[in-house]
Amino acid sequence: MGLKVNEIRVFFGFLWFVLLIVHPVGGLRPLRERPTSWADEWLAERKDENKLGPLFAWNISGTYRGAWRFLQSSNTSSRFPDLKKLSGNSVLELITRPTKINGVHYVQGVMIFHDVFDNEPEGGRVQIRVEGVYIWPFRQLRMVANSGRDGEFGQEDDYILSNPYHLLGVFSSQVFKESPGDKIPKSNQSPISDMDKHCNVEISAQISRIQNDGEHNHYYMEGLMESPSADDDGDCLSPMIMNATSVNIEVYYNKAVNYTLMVTFISFLQVLLLIRQMEHSNTQSGAAKVSILMIGQQAIMDAYLCLLHLTAGILVESLFNAFATAAFFKFVVFSIFEMRYLLAIWKASRSINNGEGWEAMRRELSLLYSRFYGILLGGILMMYEFHRYLRSIVVILQSFWIPQIICNVVGDSRKALHPHYIVGMSLTRLAIPLYVFGCPHNFMRIQPDYNFSITLVLLVAFQALILLLQHYLGSRCFIPRQILPEKYCYFRGVDPASNRATDCVICMTAIDLTQRPNDCMVTPCDHFFHSGCLQRWMDIKMECPTCRRSLPPA
């Protein structure tokens, strides 16, 4: 029995010795040094849940998008009573670098709050520069407001401002003023732009990793922002809860590249459609039926898109090649094909000047170019002045078929445009507006407006439908015959009993009115032709083949 007791003592002594060697700190740590606060226990639990290693540091530099809301049901701030909204969106730009202290990284960044004021036209945007530390073993982020002068950040500030996500936000917010994108900072932009001078802004957040796709780490940030007054007059703002998720910049980069590829492909299709239309109206009579205002409006649209993409490429340097390619193709469509077609239409519709010579033609051509580029520059100024009515401007630009519809009705001309050109141009002109206003994942971060997108589709489809009806049923098919002016009938009464036989000077064959009187067309100057021969002739020239007298529309 004593031997068994000794064996048991030796066994437990050996076990105690092994535990002492394996976990010396846990076995000898005094009870008072153990964590006692609920926050530390929560951190320890989160650490165990995420299986964090003490020697693995996360690089949290990057862009974070999320939301903010007041912890209380209302803002109780006496210093800033204009803050009526209780929640909104936020964007946080961070850059970190290691310090000499192991486990601590220095953090600098910019925090942008959107939708702060109800009475601000741009959504009440507030920007605060922050700095602090990131204690990566515990995944804790502590930041305070930085009240330094502009430009004090140096290279870190350049990094934040050159971020493609930030630059694309600047570009879209400058072009689409109604979007809540990031804007270029302005002095005294908001009533609390100097909040860091009167308040001690303190931000405490916990970082966690939500997923890892093999190449990119995605982080989730959740914390509390407090702003006690520097004058001990209470809180400047009510406590604010914030959460944000890291943004993969390459996703927006790829979206922008895919967009430029779409624009390039659309421009190539428009070139093919223009070539098809130019072949369809390669005669003087065919070109004269096309509205010069319609082609001019489309050329101005492509010129605007060329300048817009070129500006985006200059602003976002890392995407210059992609946007420059899209701008180049738009420049080709605008300057080579559409301007050439514009000159062909102008030349076909220009009346014959007897003895005026080259000088008169050069003056008229200079006047045409002056009007075109004057409207182009004037349109830029008008859009800059009335940028808040962007949707109305887009509706006006998308009404590019209306001049051709009016031209067909006034000139009583049909088949001025090829059906492929009508359908193809309608679809390609809708692609960019639908991407901007209808795509929920566009790279410009503009909230989709499906009602406006449907309105644009219906508007362009209605115009294209009218043009197709004019092509197949006649240019005035939708106008009551009672209000139309009298129209010359080329099949006016011819007495078949007259036994009048004559030759068609176009095909040089005889016309027998007794056999097929409906195959004969009579001009106002009483010349007879086969109907098919005269119709093909009028597609080329609107003049009588016999006496060269001008002919009315058929």
Q: pLDDT tens, position by position, for the chain (554 residues)?
A: 554 556 656 555 555 554 444 444 333 333 333 344 333 443 444 444 444 444 467 888 888 888 888 877 766 666 666 666 778 888 888 888 888 888 888 888 888 877 665 544 444 567 788 888 998 888 889 888 875 544 444 444 554 455 555 555 555 555 554 443 444 344 344 455 556 566 778 889 998 887 655 556 788 889 988 877 666 665 677 788 888 888 777 777 888 899 999 999 999 999 999 999 999 988 888 888 899 999 999 999 999 999 999 988 888 888 889 999 999 999 999 999 999 999 999 988 775 444 466 777 888 888 989 999 999 999 999 988 888 888 999 999 999 999 999 999 888 887 889 999 999 999 999 999 999 999 988 887 778 899 999 999 999 999 999 999 999 888 888 877 777 777 777 777 665 555 555 778 888 888 766 655 567 788 888 788 888 888 778 777 778 888 888 777 76
The pLDDT, as a whole number, for residue 255 is: 87
* The pLDDT of residue 213: 55
SS3 category, 95:
strand
How far apart CA 376 and CA 303 sit, in angstroms, is: 8
Note whether 241 and 69 are within 8 A (CB).
Answer: yes
> What is the identity of the amino acid at 125?
R
Q: What is the pLDDT of residue 491?
A: 75
Please give the Cα distance from 429 to 270 (Å, whole number). Answer: 9
Question: What is the spatial distance between Cα 506 and Cα 485, in angstroms, rounded to a whole number?
Answer: 30
Give Cα 409 to chain centroid, integer Å. 35
What's phi and psi for 385, nearest 5 deg? Answer: -75, -35
Query: Rounded to whole angstroms, how far apart are CA atoms 290 and 459?
Result: 21
Alpha carbon separation from 205 to 45, 134, 217, 494 (Å, rounded):
16, 10, 18, 95
- Give the per-residue pLDDT at 259: 93
Q: State the pLDDT at residue 535.
A: 79
536 token code pair: 């093909």
Q: Strand 104-113 vs strand 126-135: parallel, antiparallel, or unpaired?
A: antiparallel
- Residue 254: the pLDDT is 87
SS3 label, residue 199: strand
Between 249-280 and 419-438, two packed helices, what is the crossing angle to 10 degrees? 160
* Residue 133, strand partner residues: 106, 142
Measured N-to-C along each axis, helices 164-175 and 249-280 cross at an angle, to the nearest 10 degrees, of 50
Q: What is the pTM of this model?
A: 0.69
* pLDDT value at residue 214: 54
C-alpha span between 480 and 134 (Å, rounded): 77
pLDDT for 297 equals: 94
